[in-house]
Structure 1
Amino acid sequence: MASEITPEGVTVISVHGYLDDDTSPALSEALTAAASDNGCSRTVLDLSMVKFADSSALHTLLAGQETHETTGTVMILAGPLQAAVNRLFEVTSTGPVFRWADTVQQGMTC
Structure 2
Amino acid sequence: MNSGPRASVKVREHRGCWVLDVEGQADFDEGDVLRSAMEETNGKTLPAMVIDLSALTFADTAFLHWLLEAHRAHENAGTLLILAGPLSPQVVRLLTITGTIDHFTVAGDIEAALVLAGSS
Tell me, yes or no, whether TM beats 0.5: yes
2:16 maps to which residue?
9
Instruction: From the CA coordinates, give the structure whose radius of gyration is larger.
Output: 2
In structure 2, which of residues 56, 78, 95 is the aligned counterpart of residue 72 of structure 1? 78
Unpaired runs of 5+ in structure 2?
Answer: 1-8
Runs of 4+ in structure 1 displaced over 4 angstroms? none
Aligned length: 108
Is 1:92 equivalent to 2:98 in the alignment? Answer: yes
TM-score, with structure 1 as normaliser: 0.90
- AA aligned opposite 2:49: T
| Sequence identity percentage | 33
Over the residues paired in the alignment, what is the CA RMSD in angstroms? Answer: 1.4
Structure 1 gap segments, 5+ residues each: none
What does residue 110 of structure 2 align with? 104
TM-score, with structure 2 as normaliser:
0.83
